[in-house]
Amino acid sequence: MSKCVLIVDDEPIVVEIAKRKLEDLHYQVMTAQDGEEALEALKKKIPDLILLDIQMPKMNGYTFLMEKAKVPEYDSIPVVVLTAYGEMEPLFKRHGVKAYLLKPLKLQELLEKVQSVLGV
């Protein structure tokens, strides 16, 4: 059974490129434009990994992490943060983030990080 990745980002081009490449590698992909949509997506299916942008409208990535932490079933879902703010790494680590990637994203780096975190 293929692994499922939830991409949470408000930049449609980032979502589309990452989604296509992950699907080419036989990952199942869900998407959300902000933290609110991501929480709704988690109610439908628990992914194997979340790729999470921080700067988003409605509910940003940091708030999403806080809300995700309130639900025990979501606690074990690994998160890779996609951000332009590398200086926030200590904050991410306190909230259980497995890794982070700096924007602009390098597609090969993203794929390698997904495979590394998922152990495939």
Flag whether pLDDT at 3 surpasses 90: yes
What the block records as the tokens of 74 is 């979501």
Q: Which two tokens stand for residue 82?
A: 């996609």
Residue-wise pLDDT for 25-47, tens only, equals: 999 999 999 999 999 999 999 99
Q: What is the pLDDT of residues 61-78, one digit of tens each?
A: 989 999 999 999 998 999
- pLDDT number for residue 90: 64
Q: Which domains does the chain have, with CATH numbers?
A: 4-118 (3.40.50.2300)
Inter-residue contact 58 to 35 (CB < 8 Å)? yes
**What are 89-94's contacts with CB under 8 Å, separation 24+?**
91/62
